[in-house]
Amino acid sequence: MFEKRRPGAVLFDRDGTLIRDVPYNGDPDRVEPMPGALEALGRLRRADVPVAVVTNQSGVAKGLLTPDEMDQVNAKVEELLGPFDAWAICVHDDADGCTCRKPAPGLVIRAAAVLDVSPRDCVVVGDIGRDMEAARAAGARGILVPTQETLREEIRQAAEVADDLIDVVDRVLSDAEGPVPAAAAPWARAMGWSRW
């Protein structure tokens, strides 16, 4: 179990967590935020908790969408729910054997590095077991927000399960203790974006 303390950052999976999951979506017009996403992100930002996106986008490796189409969808997510302090995106598929694709810890480690926080100080929020495995592998706290796509086994195996994104933020902010350290203030962070 993780000790209750102010998180260095909250890292969100994209599809099925922040926005409705449309498999291999390359059309920004099909981007629809999940219920409570805007409110949850707003509360974290007002509390000066950095927020980032960590997402697998294997459709690029599979040739089902172009990098430009993926970027357009991400820009729409940014428009509807941003600004995000960092984006870490894996465009490989399982056959590539990379270290970034969830359940590997690479995206969590990369986002934490861009935000200049330790992965141990991050909370990873996602809707499937891969998200929780990536959090665990990176030493981060994982909170599962199940959807209809989440397997029962993934729910049973999750260290922490929340009802929705508002519940996640309630948990994370109730754990926060003390004032914001100057080094963690928004103006002290550099915005970063990376795609592997």
Is 27 annotated as ligand-binding? no
Is 170 annotated as ligand-binding? no
Q: Is 116 designated active site?
A: no
- Please tell me the distance from the alpha carbon of residue 176 to that of residue 8, in angstroms, as a whole number: 10
Distances from the Cα of 97 to the Cα of 13, 100, 124, angstroms: 20, 9, 22
Which of the following is catalytic: 15, 85, 121, 131? 15
- Please tell me the distance from the alpha carbon of residue 65 to that of residue 60, in angstroms, as a whole number: 5
Is 127 annotated as ligand-binding? yes
- Please tell me the distance from the alpha carbon of residue 136 to that of residue 142, in angstroms, as a whole number: 7
Q: Is 21 designated active site?
A: no
Tell how strand 51-56 and strand 141-144 pair up. unpaired
Is 90 annotated as ligand-binding? yes
Task: Say how many residues make up the chain.
Answer: 196
Is 121 annotated as ligand-binding? no
Which of the following is catalytic: 13, 85, 121, 131? 13
Is 167 annotated as ligand-binding? no
Is 98 annotated as ligand-binding? yes
Q: Which residues are annotated as a binding site for Mg(2+)?
A: 13, 15, 127
Active site residues: 13, 15
Q: Which residues are annotated as a binding site?
A: 13, 15, 90, 92, 98, 100, 127
Q: Which residues are annotated as a binding site for Zn(2+)?
A: 90, 92, 98, 100
